[in-house]
Structures are given as structure tokens and as C-alpha cells.
């Protein structure tokens, strides 16, 4: 009889824990405003990455540099996020640039950023994209691209690889995620839409680390 009571109590306790976990998860989903997605995201060597490959949490960010909210996150919030979560190994941020208009000038600039970042020297072009993205539509920038293609065979090969396949794949992933706004963040199977300032980004990080 006592054994049955212990068993029943254990089953009841497990049930209560399951219910409590579900209620907590539902509350956090409402509070943090995320959706569940089944879209699989893979890394590319052209991604713009901040943080270690061994970080406890990987955050994928889809962004267009024509979006002021994306630039606000990168210019204003990212430096603090690096201090709080990236340099200590908690977070690896992987930026997948997109351009849903598939404008040739912007696609060229995004490929250039990815190719140069792969070789560890993309700081200047990334700063340009984050502060003055309209520059990529200028004759001067087009001339820069032409000079690179004519003068650096290895970089040129990456720059025009498969008709901008890298950016087009990012565009397709963004479309599959069903968002009409940028930036978006994907952590595991959770999709977070819109610019998340440092305070809410911190809540998201802590939730994803501890769930």
C-alpha cells in the first residue's frame, strides 16, 4: 500500500513539474515574443561571425544593411553585447546578410564583405555597410569592385562565385522563416523578429541558456 502511495506521489510530482514547465515556457514565449520554426540553418565560411565556435549559444541574425533597425543593432547594441555575452563565451553571433531586392550593387558589396571577412580583413567594408550603405550604389564603389576583380584573382573568384549563391541562399532562408521585417534572430528552433535592444536581448540569452 505504501509503495503504491509513493508511486502515485511521484507520478503526481512529475505531472506538476511538466505542467509548471509548460506554463513557464508559454509565459516566456509571450513575454519574449518568439515563434517556433522548423527551418534548419547551416553555417557558411562567408558568414560574419562574432564569438567562439565553442560558445554555449549560437544566435543567427538575418539583416539587410538598408534597414535602419539592423544598423542600429550593429552600431549601438552589438558593442555592449560583445562585452556581456560574446567575449565570455556565452554567445556566438552569426550574421547572414540578405538583400531581398537582389540589387547587383548591394549583392556585390555583401559578397565582398563575406569574402574579405573569411580572410580576416573585412573591417573597412563592414563599417561602410553599417554607416553609409548608400555608398555601394556609387560609381566609386563599382570601380572598387572592378579593380578587385581585375587585381585579386582569389578574391574575385569568391566575389562572383555561383552568381552570388551565398546571398541568394540567405534570402531563401529568410523567406522560408516567414518574416517581413528585419532584423530577425534565430536560436535553435526559436524565431525572434525585430530589433531587440540590449535589455531584451539579455533576457533572450538568459532564457535560451537556461531553458
- Rg (the chain; Cα; Å): 21
pLDDT tens, position by position, 135-175 = 999 999 999 999 988 998 988 889 887 899 999 999 999 99
Instruction: Tell me whether the omega of the peptide bond preceding residue 183 falls within 30 degrees of 0, making it cis.
Output: yes
pTM metric for this prediction: 0.86
| Whether the Cβ atoms of residue 36 and residue 190 lie closer than 8 Å to each other | yes
Q: In the 8-state DSSP scheme, what is residue 161?
A: G
Average pLDDT over residues 76-81: 96
CATH architecture of 35-210: 3-Layer(aba) Sandwich (3.40)
Q: What is the pLDDT of residues 8-57, one digit of tens each?
A: 555 555 544 444 444 445 765 677 888 999 999 999 999 999 999 999 99
Residue spans per domain, the chain: 1-32, 35-210
Closest CA to 158 of 101, 103, 118: 118
Amino acid at each position: 500500500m505504501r509503495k503504491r502511495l509513493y508511486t502515485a506521489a511521484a507520478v503526481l510530482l512529475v505531472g506538476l513539474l511538466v505542467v509548471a514547465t509548460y506554463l513557464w515556457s508559454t509565459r516566456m514565449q509571450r513575454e519574449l515574443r518568439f515563434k517556433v520554426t522548423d527551418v534548419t540553418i547551416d553555417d557558411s565560411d562567408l558568414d560574419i561571425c562574432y564569438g567562439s565556435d565553442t560558445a554555449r549559444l549560437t544566435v543567427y541574425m538575418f539583416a539587410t544593411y538598408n534597414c535602419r533597425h539592423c544598423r542600429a543593432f550593429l552600431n549601438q547594441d552589438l558593442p555592449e553585447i560583445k562585452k556581456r555575452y560574446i567575449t565570455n563565451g556565452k554567445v556566438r553571433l552569426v550574421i547572414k546578410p540578405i538583400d531581398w531586392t537582389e540589387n547587383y550593387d548591394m549583392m556585390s558589396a555583401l559578397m565582398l564583405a563575406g569574402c574579405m571577412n573569411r580572410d580576416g580583413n573585412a573591417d573597412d567594408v563592414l563599417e561602410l555597410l553599417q554607416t553609409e550603405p548608400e555608398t555601394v550604389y556609387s560609381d566609386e564603389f563599382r570601380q572598387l569592385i572592378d579593380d578587385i576583380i581585375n587585381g585579386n584573382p582569389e578574391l574575385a573568384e569568391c566575389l562572383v562565385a555561383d552568381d552570388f549563391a551565398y546571398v541568394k541562399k540567405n534570402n531563401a532562408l529568410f523567406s522560408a522563416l516567414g518574416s517581413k521585417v528585419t532584423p530577425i534572430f534565430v536560436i535553435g528552433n526559436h524565431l525572434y523578429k525585430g530589433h531587440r535592444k540590449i535589455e531584451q536581448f539579455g533576457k533572450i540569452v538568459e532564457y535560451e541558456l537556461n531553458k
